[in-house]
Structure 1
Amino acid sequence: MMDWTDRHCRFFHRLMTRRAMLYTEMVTAPAVVHGPKDRLLGYSGAEHPVALQLGGSDPAELAAAVRLAVPFGYDEINLNVGCPSDRVQSGCFGAVLMERPALVADCVAAMRDASDVPVTVKCRIGVDDQNPEEVLPDFLERVSAAGVTHFVIHARKAWLQGLSPKENREVPPLDYDLVKRMKAAYPQLTICINGGVTSLAQVRDLLAAGLDGVMLGRAAYHDPGSVLIGADALWGDGDGLDAFGVVEAIKPYIAAHLEGGGRLHQITRHMLGLFHGRPGARGWRRVLSEGVAKPGAGLGLLDLALDEVSRAAA
């Protein structure tokens, strides 16, 4: 989720779940190779387990990016073959690569040769006029033959022309049954599902259907209090922090960020949905959104926003 799941967002999300794998924003291989490494690849050690998500279509360049990422200690490196954005299509990567499975296989083979870190692939069930019943199994077979055993499948087609990225997340119909059939057909592969999942109840149902994992994107961002707090129970772990505890726990991180010259908004923008659906949620969002622009805004703003929630719940 480009421009969303930055290091501040991931630190915030980690406070709500100790076990879920967190994914970075998609970073292009050329940016890693030619850009500022610490800014693009750096993160807090508290984020583990965390995966680096790369975009690219040049095997040599992807391998170079992986080698540069190795010292940063990521737990997984994921090749994104699912993003339908115009920005990634123009670079011949993302969902457009669903049309070129042989190239994807070459890419992941080069990435695996560059590091011992597990390489995974996020993909769609197909693009445009492709028949997913034919395309998806062929894609899985070709790419897994290159050594990848872990796939995250967004259970929608991507329409590369005619739909915006937002529409591509909503308009093409979901086909969970196809993804379930892929798991049944390829039991040796780790197959996780993505797309349209908005609750932990749905996660439990999909896991019970035999899938190996569920990736949540926008639901985890917009309603983290519902889908991340309590998620560790899926692993049998006990209760962690509640939403109020999360706010208290992130204060030292925010204080350090501000002392280092950072801006409050860079962190609090990711926290607006923490109380989604609860009394006081609107006041929480209003205080944070309006207050960050005021001179001297600091940790006290969080307390003012929490007061809105406390008063509404009283």
Structure 2
Amino acid sequence: MKAVICTNYGPPEVLKIQEVDRPTPKDHEVLIKILAASAHIGDTRIRKADPLLVRLLFGMLKPKKNLILGLEVSGVIEAVGKDVQSFKPGDEVFGLTGFRGGCAEYICLPGKVEQGTGEKKGMVVLKPGHLSHEEAAVVPSGALTALKNLQKANIRSGQKVLIYGASGSLGTYAIQLAKYYGAEVTAVCSRGNFELVRSLGADQVIDYTVEDFTASETRYDIVYDAVIKSKAAQCQKILTPNGIFVNNSRLAKIEEADFLFIKSLLEDHKLKPVVDRTYALKEIVKAHRYVDTGRKKGNVAITIGR
């Protein structure tokens, strides 16, 4: 099968499309024919070995042999292991890969998730019928990370929430989730993205290029830095006395119940993915170049196998 292999650490050009062995599902796994994946910032960080912890996980001097990138996928189940009861061939699914590599034509993932292992081993659920595979593929990582941040902050109705990096993948999901919980949302982004964040439910917007949001006179119950570019100390002065600052660190493990909750919001049209651009698998280098610019709105999808 074709797969995107990270041959070295460095710029997008280290990514090569190569032929590798097609995986065979174990008794508890499903084999998925991947129809779409994403070019996620997490993939670009692995590619660049940034942070250095990447080297401890994926290889010190160079990536381990046949390292396939891709944190999230959408596709069709082609085969199931003998112990799998929740899925059958032909089911359309989307999910997290657990770093098993989604930028490929096939992947094997668990057909049943043990508690607390979803992020490491991957998890899949049935795809909402109204979403394309490209739309579904860009949901899992961003939506679930935003959800775990808001859960950590114990979000409640009536609270004031500020989201820094509101037009990116995490930010676009965080706006919608915060509104679902009944919060008042202030989105921090560039002026060119005002229309987008307002369409997702933002009540107020701040242009970070002309205004320092940490100098705001408004006090917030939650400040969510979705792009990890500020410090807790900087944001302390705009928090209420019991306010909380979150930034994607020290989050609780993602559970299957979290994923099913996100799926239900999608099905109820209370959450929607934002797809900025879509690239073919053969354009993976272009896709990573675009993500590296830091200017994407929402997510970048990769079409595979079609």
TM range (shorter): under 0.3
Which of structures 1 and 2 has the bigger CA Rg? Answer: 1
- Higher RCO (C-alpha under 8 Å, 6+ residues apart): 2
Structure with more of its chain in strand, by fraction: 2
